[in-house]
Amino acid sequence: MSLSDPKSKVLLQLDPDEHASVFDSVVAIDSGVDHLLRHHSVKESDVEDLVHGAIFTRGLEDLKRTAIFVGGSNVEVGERILKKVISTFFGPLSVSVMLDSNGANTTAAAAVLSATRHRDLQGAKVVVLGGTGPVGRRICVLAARQGANVMLGSRSQSRSANAVDTIKLLDSNWNLTPFATGDDAWLDEIKDADILISAGAAGVELISKSQLEKFSQLRVAIDLNAVPPAGIEGVDVMATGSNVNELVVYGAIGVGGLKMKIHKAALRKLFTQNNQVLDANEIYDIGTGIVSK
């Protein structure tokens, strides 16, 4: 396709950070985007003009060939920008948009889908350490909506309780329980878990090998922290479904392969219609299509 072809795929990258993410740009190009319009330091007040530029330029039939990606390192800021993008659309004048600030949606999807390869989530007890962060919260939502009994962990009982309350606003029937880590008593609450996902901050160990040995029926352990020390002591960052005794383990880079596939598939899907919003659930559903092949 010639670069001046009106059928070319144009992606508007909206990034609130000082420098638009090079990672997100490279993935966009690798996913077949013809023209990438990179905007950095984007504020909510900038969004309307930028979106107007995207929706007023091409005819209705060609609007599906323009799309928006909201990135940046701060997930809450990304969520506000996404809201503003959506509220700027009107009538048939919209383009598809995807949110993946700090990789939160694609990472959460890849983690939960990795677990589902080994254990059905319906009725499973899923423990999420670092469950108050953007990745952890999304993991809790994705697991809860599939019928898991989710335990959301934090260093603080009030922060975990707040996170559970916020998630339950989406569906009060979901089974979520907050817990706080601290002395070893917290292990009694979670040691019958089927799945453990560590989504704590980078470079922080959240659970030791000896604590892990106390679990009675753990099937899968997933650590999303790529920066040493590991979030789950002893989990190799490269592990991708490796068997350690009876346990299946994934490290952050091990989960990363699926995350990248999901990210690229979501970007490609943007260009199939002009009215899609790809947030956590939709991105997870795209991942389901990938792992079920």
Binding site for ligand NAP (CB under 6 A): 102-104, 107, 130, 132-136, 154-156, 159, 199-202, 204, 224-226, 252, 256, 259
Rounded CA separation 140/138 (Å): 5
| Residue 261 vs residues 71, 162, 250, 258, 286: alpha-carbon distances, Å | 17, 33, 16, 5, 10
CA dist 28 and 26 (Å) reads: 5
Least separation in angstroms between residue 41's CB and ligand NAP is 21
| CB 10 to ligand NAP: min, Å | 25
The total of other beta-carbon atoms located within 10 Å of residue 93's CB is 16
Which lies closer to ligand NAP via its Cβ, residue 33 or residue 222?
Answer: 222
**Shortest CB 135 distance to ligand NAP, Å:** 3
Q: Which is nearer to ligand NAP, 25 or 154 (CB)?
A: 154
Q: How far is CA 114 from CA 46, 224, 255, in A?
A: 38, 12, 7
* Shortest CB 186 distance to ligand NAP, Å: 12
By beta-carbon proximity to ligand NAP, the closer residue of 16 and 256 is 256
Nearer CB in complex with ligand NAP: 39/155: 155
Token readout for 150 is: 């989710």
CB of 50 to ligand NAP, least distance (A): 25
* Least distance from ligand NAP to the Cβ atom of residue 145, Å: 19
The residues pairing with 151 across neighbouring beta strands, listed in sequence order, are 127, 177
DSSP label at residue 188: H
Shortest CB 146 distance to ligand NAP, Å: 20
Length of the chain counted residue by residue: 293
Of 179 and 271, the one with the shorter C-beta distance to ligand NAP is: 179
Q: How far is the CB of 257 from ligand NAP (least distance, A)?
A: 10
Burial zone of 92 (CB within 10 Å; 0-12 exposed, 13-18 middle, 19+ buried): exposed
Contact yes or no for 85/68 (Cβ under 8 A): yes
In which residue are the tokens 């962060």 written?
133
Would you say 155 or 219 has its CB closer to ligand NAP?
155
Q: Which residue in the shown chain puts its C-beta closest to ligand NAP?
A: 133
Q: Which is nearer to ligand NAP, 51 or 178 (CB)?
A: 178
**Strand ranges across the sheet with 220-223:** 176-180, 149-154, 125-129, 195-198, 220-223, 247-250, 240-244
Return the closest-CA partner of residue 272 out of 98, 43, 46, 54. Answer: 98
Q: What are the structure tokens assigned to 4, written together?
A: 């001046």
